[in-house]
Structure 1
Amino acid sequence: MHSHYHQDEVTLTTTGHIGIAAVSPEGAALCYRQIFRHASRLFPDRLPPRVTIHNEPLQTYIESVRADDWEGVAELLLKSVGVLKGAGVDFVLTPDNAVQHGVMIAEHQSSIPWLTMPDLVADALVENTHQTVGILGTRYVTQGSAYQTAFGLKGIKLQVPSDEDAAELDRIVFQELIHGTTKPQSKKTILDITRLFRSRGCQAIVIAASELGLVLEQIEPPLPTFDAAELLAIGAVKRASGS
């Protein structure tokens, strides 16, 4: 018996191979999901990119960051780079904001190219002609040099939370958000900080902690937001697709 059914052949363009040097499980898992969500949205006629994830234990990163040992952070990232290179990735990224200073060091010693959050965020801000922006994140981010350097090279002025607000953001992230909870008072605090940024002349807010992005979706901040983790996933998909 002969079947008259036949399926039209669909030729799907292949895409590249993304490597994720994971630090926190939550950050890596979120990035993985975002990559595939944006791949299907941006390039529905292409096969999704291949993604390989490698991690060194989170506690080793935490110890290095707390000791201000950024060379140690870079060494951990480069261990992942070695494994990811063996897996055949085209480029590597790290979705954790807190280690971006270590990424800057690792990038210069890496055997494969990096895609970095601060540069992608800076490009997005320039594209939207924002010249003064506020940043929300932990103190490792807001008081570190990774975003300040990337933004400064693009002529973008960066406003950071006060020491008191930075300490409160740390408490909210580490004592509430990473455990999946947010107190109403904490939401009010975050909203107050965003309003303060507006009063200081900021045109937009950079979300440099993925957990804070979930809160900002609920409180309607007074300024446009640029989520670093989201922009990294979009940038990775575009690069893997050759665009």
Structure 2
Amino acid sequence: MRKLGIIGGTSWSSTALYYNHINRAVAQRLGGFHSARLVLESVDFADLIALEDANDWDGVAKLNIDAAQRLQAAGAEGMLMACNTTHKVYDAVAANVDIPVLHIADPTGDRLAADRIGRVALLGTRFTMTEPYVRSRLESRGIDLVTIDPAWIAEVDRIIFEELARGRVVRDSQRKLKTLMTELAKHKAQAVVLGCTELALAVDTRANVLPVYDTAAIHARAAVEWMLEEAEQARAAA
């Protein structure tokens, strides 16, 4: 099994979901007492938020590059960033390590394409909903993105930063997100993509008016595929 590095703490609550998803999937695949070979670099989310609020994306890149290099030095053979928003600096991070960095949008885009979903609504922070670092990876697979009203963009961003990233799940906000999904269905969205790793804390991914694609869960599953790839190839060749 390859060793995976994770840049987490962005926020810690969604990083805990990654740890759970990855270890459960490894246990299901390998059985017995198996668990994942992981190394975690958990950053202080307050530092990251301060840089984002100051629009200091060079600072965000440096914070993540430093974390990535520490993961590589700790023996990680590949890594992921457990946050959609920090993928804005993905290219800088990937260019400064000698191990693969598994992008969060690629497995989600592949899953949507495999399911023949051609029109989706992307929910996340204001950065993720309006900038190309996740959107373009979906669009490159022929997926059309529904335009979301600016008032809803602001409200989803508020729910993420004021509540979910602080570990708070507010019932009223859960109702608002369900209302938004109902509106998106009226705008011919075929599915909703949770493009923030915290959103699964507030959205029931199995009981909504539209199919829900959780980028964190899909990213974690893709990481497990990568971790077990060599071992499974060796078993098949034996």
TM tier, shorter chain?
0.7 to 0.9
After superposition, give the CA deviation of every residue in 1:190-215 in whole Å (9 maximum; x if it has no partner): 11211121111111110122332132
After superposition, give the CA deviation of every residue in 1:90-130 in whole Å (9 maximum; x if it has no partner): 10101112211112332233321101111111111111111
Equivalent residues, number: 229
Equivalent-residue separation in structure 2 for 1:238 and 1:206 (angstroms)? 21
Q: Could you say which residue in structure 1 is the equivalent of 2:20?
A: 33
Whichever residue aligns with residue 21 of structure 1, its letter is: I
Find the residue that maps to 1:210 and give its secondary structure.
coil
After superposition, where does 1:8-87 map in structure 2 within 5 Å? 15-22=1-8, 23-44=10-31, 47-87=34-74
Q: Could you say which residue in structure 1 is the equivalent of 2:135?
A: 148
Contact 1:210 1:229 in 2 (8 A): yes
Does 1:167 find its partner at 2:154?
yes
Distance change (3 Å), C-alpha of 1:184 and 1:27: closer
Find the residue that maps to 2:198 and give its secondary structure.
helix
After superposition, where does 1:67-216 map in structure 2 within 5 Å? 67-216=54-203
In structure 1, stretches of 5+ residues that fail to align are 1-14
Contact 1:71 1:105 in 2 (8 A): no
Distance change (3 Å), C-alpha of 1:107 and 1:195: same
Q: TM-score, normalised by structure 1?
A: 0.86
Task: Quote the sequence identity (%).
Answer: 26
Greater CA radius of gyration, 1 or 2? 1
Q: Could you say which residue in structure 2 is the equivalent of 1:6?
A: none
Q: Could you say which residue in structure 2 is the equivalent of 1:9?
A: none
Whichever residue aligns with residue 217 of structure 1, its letter is: D
Find the residue that maps to 2:210 and give its secondary structure.
coil
CA RMSD of aligned residues (A): 2.1
In structure 2, stretches of 5+ residues that fail to align are 233-238
Q: TM-score, normalised by structure 2?
A: 0.88
Equivalent-residue separation in structure 1 for 2:71 and 2:163 (angstroms)? 33
State the shift of 1:146 in Å. Answer: 1.4
